[in-house]
Amino acid sequence: MVMCKDVVENIIGYIDAELDDKTLEELEKHLDECPECQVFVRTYRKMLELTGKLRERTFVTPEIRERLKQLLKSKLKPN
Amino acid sequence: MIGTVTGQRGKETSPPDLVNTTDEKLIELFISSKDERAFEEIVNRYADKIYRLAFKITRDYYSAEEILQEVFLTLINKIDTFRGESKFSSWLYRVTANAAYMHLRAQKKYENDVSLEDYVPYDENGTLMGRIKAKDWSDKPDKALLSEEAMEIIEKAVNELPEPYRVVFHLRDVEGFSNQEVSEVLGLSVPALKSRLHRARLYLRDKLSDYFYEWSK
Ligand SMILES: [Zn+2]
C-alpha cells in the first residue's frame, strides 16, 4: 500500500516527471486522498520556486567590487 | 575601461559587443590579446556567483571576499590550465569551491558534521499525519513570500543547512545548475548529490514551514 513515505521518497522524480506510469498512478491516488501529502507537495514546489529567486539577489557590495577592481587592475597591467 | 559605475544594483555595463559574447570566446580574447574588456565582462558575469558560492561554503564574508579575489587572480595567472574540456563556468566554480575548502581547512573551521541522511518528515509508520498541514504556508500571497523579509528568512534557512547539503542545494536549486554540472564542480557522483539534494530539500521545507508559521503568527 502506498504511504506518505512513498510520496516523500519519490518527490524528486514526481516533481521532475520522471516516474514510471505505475508508480505515478499509485502516488496520485494517495495524493488525492491525503491532505497532508497535498500540502507537502505544494510547499515543496513553492520552496523551489522561492529559493530560485535567491539567485537574483546581489551580494557583492560596491566596496567589495571596487577593491576587486583595484587589485585586478594592478595585476592586469604590470609595470 | 575599468572604473565606470553605471547600471543597476552596482553592476557595470559592458560594451555591447561583449555582452553577447560567450564565456569561452571572452577567454580566448583574453588569452590571445590580453583584452582587458573581455576580462572585465567575465568579472561582471561571475563576481556575484563566485562570492555567493564562497560564502555558502565558508559562511564568512571576509573569507568570501578573499576567495573572490583569489579566484580572479587564478584566472589571470593560470588561465592556461583551463583546457576547454568542461564548460568555462564549471571550471571557474570548481576553482572557487577548491579555494573555499582550502580556506576552511586553513582556518581549521570544521562544522560539526551533522548528517541529514536519516532525516525524514514522516513518522515510524510512514505517515505524515498531523505533521504538515497544520503549518501550510503555500497559500500565502506572493507579495508576502517575495518580500525582502521573507527572502531573508529563506536565505537564513538555506545557510542553516549542514555544509555538504548546503553547497549542493545552493548550486542545484539556487544557481539552477544541472546534476551534471554540480557533479563536475564538486567532484561528486550524480547519485550521491541527488541523495544529498533530497535530504537538503526535505530538511529545508520543514525549516521554512516552521519559520513561516512563526512569522505569520
Ligand atoms: Zn500522505
pLDDT score recorded for residue B216: 75
B110–chain A nearest CA distance, Å: 24
Is there a contact between A71 and B69 (Cβ–Cβ < 8 Å)? yes
Do A5 and B145 lie within an 8 Å CB cutoff?
no
In this complex, is the C-beta atom of A76 within 8 Å of any C-beta atom belonging to chain B?
yes
CA A62 to mean position of chain CA atoms: 29
- The three-state secondary structure class of B140 is coil
What ipTM did this prediction achieve? Answer: 0.91
CB atoms within 10 A of CB B35: 16
Cα gap B194→A30, rounded to integer Å: 24
Cα distances from B160 to residues A21, B12, B60, B165, in angstroms, run: 37, 32, 13, 10
**Which helix (H) or strand (E) segment is A47 a member of?**
helix A35-53
Choose from A14, A59, A77 for mutation: most chain B CBs within 10 A: A59
In this complex, is the C-beta atom of A1 within 8 Å of any C-beta atom belonging to chain B?
no
Is there a contact between A15 and A45 (Cβ–Cβ < 8 Å)? yes
What is the Cβ-side half-sphere exposure of residue B68, based on CA atoms within 13 angstroms? 30
Q: What is the residue type of B146?
A: L
The CA-based angle B82-B84-B88, given to 5 degrees, is 75
The three grid cell numbers given for residue A28, joined into one nine-digit string: 496520485
Do A5 and B72 lie within an 8 Å CB cutoff?
no
Cα gap A43→B77, rounded to integer Å: 46
Choose from A4, A10, A61, A75 for mutation: most chain B CBs within 10 A: A4
- The three-state secondary structure class of B30 is helix
Is there a contact between B28 and B46 (Cβ–Cβ < 8 Å)? no
Kindly list the residues from chain A whose CB atom is less than 8 angstroms away from the CB atom of residue B133.
Answer: 35-36, 39
> What is the value of pTM for the model shown?
0.87
Cα distances from A63 to residues B5, B137, B191, in angstroms, run: 12, 37, 40
Least Cα distance to A9 among B126, B129, B191 occurs for B126
The three grid cell numbers given for residue B148, joined into one nine-digit string: 525582502
Cα gap B123→B126, rounded to integer Å: 5
pLDDT score recorded for residue B2: 43
Output the tens digit of pLDDT for each of chain B's 217 residues: 444 444 444 455 555 688 889 999 998 888 888 888 999 999 999 999 999 999 999 999 999 999 999 999 999 988 877 777 788 999 999 999 999 999 988 887 666 678 899 999 999 999 999 999 999 999 999 999 999 999 999 999 999 999 889 999 999 999 999 999 999 999 999 999 999 999 999 999 999 999 998 887 7
Do B146 and A53 lie within an 8 Å CB cutoff?
yes
Q: Which residues contact A21 (CB under 8 A, 6 or more apart)?
A: none
Choose from B9, B50, B55, B138 for mutation: most chain A CBs within 10 A: B138
Instruction: Please give the domain boundaries of chain B with CATH numbers for all domains.
Output: 2-106 (1.10.1740.10), 131-216 (1.10.10.10)
Kindly list the residues from chain B whose CB atom is less than 8 angstroms away from the CB atom of residue A42.
Answer: 136, 138
B35–chain A nearest CA distance, Å: 10
Do A44 and B68 lie within an 8 Å CB cutoff?
no
Q: What is the Cα Rg of chain A in Å? A: 23
Least confident range of A20-24, A49-53, B92-96, B211-215 = B211-215
The three grid cell numbers given for residue A71, joined into one nine-digit string: 587589485
Cα distances from B70 to residues A46, A58, B78, B197, in angstroms, run: 36, 20, 11, 28
Least Cα distance to B163 among B205, B81, B209, B105 occurs for B105
pLDDT score recorded for residue A79: 46
Cα gap B172→B170, rounded to integer Å: 6
